[in-house]
Amino acid sequence: MTRIASLPPKSRRSSTPKISQFDEKYYRRFYNTDPVHTRHQISHLAQAVDSLCSWWGVNIRSVLDVGSGPGYWRDWFVAHRPAAKVVSTDISDFACEKFGHQKRDISKWKPSRSFDLVVCHGVLQYLDHQEASAAIENLAWATRHVLYLEVPTTKDLQQTVDRDSTDLMMYSRTGRWYQNRLRRHFEQAGSGLWIKKAGQVLLYELEGAP
């Protein structure tokens, strides 16, 4: 999602938008001809996140992938960190059946254990304000050390996302809205990485976000 986009129409920015149904049609649209992310792209991202965790001294023995979709994150860790326990979840019946995930709704589900790394890639924008707030609390509960989070904000919808390959049927919220809730539990390290407070990872002052 790198090309500059114009401001979405007002109907896209409604406080109660029509939200996508994550069925077979959705996956054909956003993961076939003009995919929002390819397996190759996610492999680079997963490797980068894994390398930074190693740099910080986090030995990744467990991974939770929330909203796993086609399972690219899960597949990378299964291939490259075979000793790690990887749990992939999704809310979509289609995705769970086709790609082999556990069906879970992170706005309602609190895992019984914590994970060294939690990945939440392109999920929170589909939840209303109450659900997204609850999901952040559950993500914090699930994260032992590091959270990787990607969610487009209002500013991203105005300036950053590629509207041809991005599903725009989402809730639009400011970055501050997310930061206010995430910073109750995490320190922001940049590039989508959030470090659990009072955990083993210690950042130098200039490594984190102000």
Confidence of residue 20 (pLDDT cuts 50, 70, 90): confident
Indicate the pTM of the whole model: 0.88
Taking only the tens place, the pLDDT of each residue in 133-160 is 999 999 999 999 999 999 999 998 888 8
Q: What is the dihedral of CA 37, 43, 44, 49, to 10 degrees?
A: 110
Please state the rounded mean pLDDT for residues 25-43. Answer: 82
- Could you state, in order of their start, the residue ranges of all structural domains in the chain? 20-197
Q: Which residue has the higher pLDDT, 6 or 44?
A: 44
Q: Which residues fall within 8 angstroms of residue 153, CB to CB, at 6 or more apart?
A: 172, 173, 174, 175, 177, 178
Reported as half-sphere exposure (CB side, CA atoms, 13 A), residue 149 has a value of 27
CA atoms of 177 and 173, how far apart (whole Å): 6
Q: How confident is the model at residue 98 (pLDDT cuts 50, 70, 90)?
A: very high
The domain made up of 20-197 has a fold known as Rossmann fold (3.40.50)
Residue 210 reports pLDDT greater than 70? yes
Structure confidence at residue 102 as a pLDDT band (50, 70, 90): very high
pLDDT of 15 > 80? The answer is no
